Chain A
Amino acid sequence: MDPKLLEILVCPVCKGPLVYDKAKQELISKAERLAYPIRDGIPVMLASEARVLGPDEEVAG
């Protein structure tokens, strides 16, 4: 998916911005400390499917 289109997406929980981690294929909400996976090119924007960031995990960007 076009990264420009990914930029439109916001965190479904707090509606705050997301950081795209291309290497991990994740969209990260710094506010909620959740990483939403992109599976087979489809962002999975469900909190129930998101990875909770570790306490020391830094988010670039």
Chain B
Amino acid sequence: MSDSTTHFGFKTVNETEKAQKVAEVFHSVAQKYDVMNDLMSAGLHRAWKFFTIETSGAKAGDRVLDIAGGTGDLSKAFCKKVGKTGQVWLTDINSSMLGVGRDRLLDAGFAVPTAQCDAEKLPFPDNYFDIVTVAFGLRNMTHKDAALAEMYRVLRPGGRLLVLEFSKVWAPLKPAYDLYSFKLLPFMGKLVAQDADSYQYLAESIRMHPDQETLKAMMQDVGFGRVEYHNMSAGIVALHKGFKF
């Protein structure tokens, strides 16, 4: 057993403990995940995801892998883009989130292939997907470099990765953003999801996540080319895109 440590929000924990703690957070919030996203971001997460879909260049017949796909927002939009000849895989490491997502997609009329998997050890062959996306998921992964390398492996040459994630906010907005994240966010989490701790973790994990340039370098390190990012809402989130050549 490894004694390596990592971050769980601001706390330092064993690597094995991190995965377990992240799992607890998402088992706890799965049922209220969508309503909390709307509330916390004032609906903005829909715009961020819309931009991600549009940037992906997804077209009919494409194969798409949605990692940490959770409750299925991106998968649903990709299903409409790739049509019947395409393929969208909804995956998440958390069974609670995946169950909610699969059922929501079925309710919307999309029977997508679904698999519970660890992004650091993907159960897909090399060079298979046209698009891999991970929205608000990379932050929670223990070994981000290993996960990025796996995403690179399963992409076909010419395929691209899209990472939508919280990032480093524009400096003048930082005081207000901190106040919101560390005071208001846990309060809303307590009120709506009866779980202040999970939303405290959310705020902390965002601060510990690599900033725009660091993540870009991490993508380049595992082989991605033409890596670029686009800040949204003053850097509250950033969309990184990179190609496999």
Q: Chain B 94-119, CB within 8 Å of chain A: the 1/0 string? A: 01001100100000000001111110
Which residue on A lies nearest to B91, using beta carbons?
A: A45
Which residue on A lies nearest to B122, using beta carbons?
A: A12
Whether B113 pairs with A45 at a CB distance below 8 angstroms is no
Chain A: interface size category: 20 to 34
Q: Which of A1, A36, A41, A46 has the most CB of B within 10 A?
A: A46
Q: Is B123 an interface residue (CB 8 A)?
A: yes
Measured in the bound complex, the distance between the Cα atoms of B124 and A11 in whole Å is 8
Q: Is A23 an interface residue (CB 8 A)?
A: no
How many pairs of residues, A versus B, come closer than 8 Å at their CB atoms?
54
Whether A1 pairs with B113 at a CB distance below 8 angstroms is yes
Measured in the bound complex, the distance between the Cα atoms of B98 and A42 in whole Å is 9
Q: Is B125 an interface residue (CB 8 A)?
A: yes
When the two chains form the complex, which single residue of A9, A41, A49 contacts B123, counting CB atoms closer than 8 Å?
A: A9
Which residue on B lies nearest to A44, using beta carbons?
A: B116
Q: Which B residues are in CB contact (< 8 Å) with A43?
A: 114-116, 123
**Which chain B residues in 57-113 approach chain A with CB under 8 Å?**
87, 93, 95, 98-99, 102, 113
Residue numbers of A with Cβ under 8 A of B are 1-2, 5, 8-13, 15, 36, 39-47, 49
Residue numbers of B with Cβ under 8 A of A are 87, 93, 95, 98-99, 102, 113-118, 121-126, 128
